[in-house]
Chains A and B, each alone.
Chain A
Amino acid sequence: MDLVESYAQDLGFARKRITRALLALLLMALLAFPWVAPDYMVFIATLVALFSIGVIGQNLLIGYTGQISFGQAGFLAIGAFSFGHLSIWGAPFLLALAGAGLMAALAGVIVGFPSLRLKGPYLSIATLGFGVAVYQIFVNSEVLSGGRSGLAIAKLKPMFGLSSVRYEYFVYMLLLAGFTWVSYNIVSSFVGRAFVAIRDSDIAAEVNGVNLTRYKLLAFALSSFYTGVHGALYAQVLGHIEPQIFNILESITLFAAVIVGGVASIEGSILGAAFVILVPKVFADFREMVPVVYGLGIIIVLMFQPLGLYGLWLKTRLYFQLWPFR
């Protein structure tokens, strides 16, 4: 039975007992995972974790605020190279990570300005231009990109006697958990409501006292912060970055993850991240088919399952809630 006795309870995180139980189970599974799975799988889970952070960020912008952006590769590159330079200068991991996020957020605010004037497809084109421009700048500037050989980034030094792969897995999962929790909080606060209000009806949002300029820019800053952190973590995992990694396909991958996972859903973002990481692994023998799978995925989702993988989960849950009735 689900009885809410106070407003505070109604606003609580993971309010229902069943949700908490599932969450605990999931956490235990994630804790045990690196000890039962081979290193390669653990590495893939690490990739999913870092991608999830970026996808959640993009979902805040695309799914919640409704500002369709294709400049993700640019933010990834800014995050990755900021992180690279900072860690080469000797900044500790978390500081470099924050620096990378903040640099990307700053770029996000700058890119956000066109969003005050442009809507829908026009905004997508403007942000696409930004992504391409950043790519070109990094490709052509040896100072920024570290020249032909790129930037080499030292691996995280494992602690607590863990192997490198496992240590990285735990650090990244912890970061993902933090980002996920904060995202849930933001989405259910006045900030999240302002975002959704802008998406559903910008005029009504304005008339109800939501400052469009402030919240659109905040959405851009926030989502680019996430994407910047994603870029930084990606750089750390790869150990070596060059600008060619952050091409337009990377933007499309993140966009596909948002759509396939489910717009305006944080769980969906994580599922979407898993999708875009696992597809290239599954189709490893047909690399050139990967973009086709993304494209088909987007089309199929938009046609048959507008809420994406998250919608699929909702339906499954509903089925079991109603079971044995239909």
Chain B
Amino acid sequence: MGGLLEVKALALHFGGITALQDVGLAIAEGETLAVIGPNGSGKTSLFNCITGIYRPSSGSISFLEESLVGRSPDAITQLGVARTFQNLRLFHNMSVLDNLMVGRHLHFRKNFVHAALRLRAEEIRHRRRCEEIIEFLNLEPVRKSRAADCPYGVQKRVELGRALATEPKLLLLDEPVSGLTQEEKEEFSYWIHEIRGRFRITILLVEHDLRVASRLADRMVALDHGVKIAEGTPAEVQRHPEVIKAYLGE
């Protein structure tokens, strides 16, 4: 299968602790894949390996036929992988707009002299793109507020917007709806759905909320203790005896 992202036999060890072992998965272009699993099952570690924050102990990760292992996070973003974080890593003292503009950073034609002499044609070009995202995510009222002053739900949206601003081909969402109210969850699910439809972005999703995950995902992968225990359609995975055991015990 000619997937967009292919992870093969991925392993990650921290000293004696095994975070991931022999994990393999593939995402086709345009697909939404959800990764589920109890706390500590290695979902975020998997994300960190893909985005270059951790270097896997063994195994391969290829994106558009290029290996991601050993590349720096910014080089991986350059290739078209964007992510959000579970515990939000916004630039707290910047405005919402500036947060999104950092997302545009890699598309800038970077000319230091232009920056120093206040020639702002590039800036305006990218500002337009950011405004499109701001409009899409209904961030207009907080455009110029400090990110840290925004409520949690808005901060989650800002982070999603920042990831979208990098114009990714593959978007990794680490628990996008955790900590949101029911209404916000529904809104957020709608946006994730729209991202797929409007921007044609492939999505890899980590989610604890199984209802949201099964509604958004075409396929599901379940991890437990760093090992892949099930893969298939959401309904299949959720009925899988190993998955039920992992969540509920014997």
Query: Do the two chains belong together in a single complex?
Result: yes
Report which A residues bind B (CB closer than 8 A): 7-8, 10-11, 13, 182, 185-186, 189-194, 196-197, 199-201, 203-212, 264
Contacts A206-B74, A208-B162 given; indicate if A197 touches B94 (C-beta within 8 A).
yes
Nearest chain B CB to A9's CB is how many angstroms away?
A: 10
Partner of B166, one of A8, A186, A208: A208
Per-residue interface assignment for chain B, residues 126 to 155, with 1 indicating a CB less than 8 Å from any chain A CB and 0 otherwise: 011000000000000000000000000000
The complex places the Cα of A180 from the Cα of B60 at a distance, in Å, of 49
Q: Is the interface of A mostly helix, strand, loop or mixed?
A: helix
Partner of B94, one of A13, A191, A196: A196
Query: Is B83 within 8 A of A207, CB to CB?
Result: yes
Does B110 make an interface contact (CB < 8 A)?
Answer: yes
**Smallest CB-CB separation from A183: which chain B residue?**
B116
The complex places the Cα of A192 from the Cα of B77 at a distance, in Å, of 20
Contacts A185-B117, A209-B74, A210-B74 given; indicate if A204 touches B105 (C-beta within 8 A).
no
The complex places the Cα of A196 from the Cα of B90 at a distance, in Å, of 11
Cβ of B191: which chain A residues have Cβ within 8 Å of it? none
Cβ of B231: which chain A residues have Cβ within 8 Å of it? none
Query: Is B74 within 8 A of A201, CB to CB?
Result: no
Report which B residues bind A (CB closer than 8 A): 51-53, 72-74, 77-78, 82-83, 85, 89-94, 98, 101-103, 105-106, 108, 110, 112, 114-118, 120, 122-124, 127-128, 162-163, 166
Contacts A190-B101, A190-B110 given; indicate if A208 touches B77 (C-beta within 8 A).
yes
Nearest chain A CB to B188's CB is how many angstroms away?
A: 19
Contacts A193-B105, A209-B77 given; indicate if A7 touches B124 (C-beta within 8 A).
yes
What are 26 A-B pairs at a CB distance below 8 A?
A8-B120, A8-B124, A10-B127, A11-B123, A11-B127, A185-B116, A185-B117, A186-B115, A190-B101, A193-B102, A193-B105, A197-B94, A197-B102, A200-B92, A200-B93, A204-B85, A206-B53, A207-B74, A207-B82, A208-B74, A208-B102, A208-B105, A208-B106, A209-B105, A210-B102, A211-B74
**Smallest CB-CB separation from B78: which chain A residue?**
A209
Query: Is B102 within 8 A of A194, CB to CB?
Result: yes
Query: Is B77 within 8 A of A193, CB to CB?
Result: no
Query: Is B120 within 8 A of A191, CB to CB?
Result: no
Cβ of B112: which chain A residues have Cβ within 8 Å of it? 191
**Smallest CB-CB separation from B83: which chain A residue?**
A207
Partner of B73, one of A196, A200, A207: A207
Partner of B91, one of A10, A191, A196: A196
The complex places the Cα of A133 from the Cα of B106 at a distance, in Å, of 38
Query: Is B103 within 8 A of A208, CB to CB?
Result: yes
Cβ of B101: which chain A residues have Cβ within 8 Å of it? 190, 193
Cβ of B105: which chain A residues have Cβ within 8 Å of it? 190, 193-194, 197, 208-210
Query: Is B118 within 8 A of A200, CB to CB?
Result: no
**Smallest CB-CB separation from B144: which chain A residue?**
A10
